[in-house]
Structure 1
């Protein structure tokens, strides 16, 4: 039985290096979990707000690495075709983030997934 919380579509931009150049491949993935929370941290009198992202992808054979980019929804943009990674992030902010953590949760009997954070 599929997880009823896995109802979102995301676009994963995966980066590889070919001949010392960045090559980005976009993959649209459906039936994923997506959550964005705003967190606040205080340093003395300064309060900083930031977004914390969690994405869960049901077990699929897909390549994902640190610094890949996740965009909420299905998008047709291409990195390298007149747009770089930073421009893509700004275009879809706050619904886009760089992957800063990866957890492989596919070894479990139930609920197998890859968890991405940012």
Structure 2
């Protein structure tokens, strides 16, 4: 695994007992941000002691066509291994492997995942995402909540 980080204690304070899940985050180094590649490059990192929640809800776009969808929330404790995307893309390939980032269109899978996203079938981003449903999602929202007084974390939603 490219990167694996365990967060057990934060500044001498035991973590929230709800932070008991392992996730695998696939960070996308978008081709548009990479002058050396014409394809997206995916880096996977396993993160332990995270919060993971999936809620199935019924949405009604029209009375005759109710739909079910999942809403996901992940919280990752503050980490020295986190780098904002705009900084992460400036790192060398070797340096990027020591860090993770969080941004929209990244992929999160519940648990430690061995699959790599290669961009070729059967391991395209959409194929890996589909293979691990309902325990996988595309990040559509991110917030850095490390300026809070307590429970500093990065929040991902999808």
TM value normalised by structure 1: 0.95
Counterpart in the other structure of 1:9? 22
Q: How far is the alpha carbon of 1:109 from its aligned partner?
A: 1.4
SS in 2 for 1:66: coil
Counterpart residue number, 1:112? 152
> Which among 29, 50, 64 is matched to residue 32 of structure 1?
50
User: Between Structure 1 and Structure 2, which shows a larger proportion of helix residues?
Assistant: 2
Q: Which has the higher strand share?
A: 1
Distance (Å, rounded) in 1 between the aligned partners of 2:116 and 2:50: 21
Partners of 1:94 and 1:23 lie apart in 2 by 24
Specify which of 35, 39, 44 is matched with residue 63 of structure 2: 44
Question: Which structure has the larger Rg over C-alpha atoms?
Answer: 2
1:103 to partner: Cα distance:
1.1
- The alignment covers a number of residue pairs equal to 118
Unaligned residue ranges in structure 1 (runs of 5+) = none
Cα distance in 1 for partners of 2:141, 2:38 equals 24
Moved over 6 A (4+): none
Q: Tell me how far apart the structure 1 counterparts of residues 59 and 70 of structure 2 sit (CA, whole Å).
A: 11
- The range that moved more, 76-85 or 8-17, is 76-85
* Root mean square deviation, CA, Å: 1.1
CA distance in 2, matches of 1:44, 1:23: 42
Structure 2 gaps, min length 5: 1-13, 83-99
Q: In the alignment, is residue 98 of structure 1 matched against residue 138 of structure 2?
A: yes
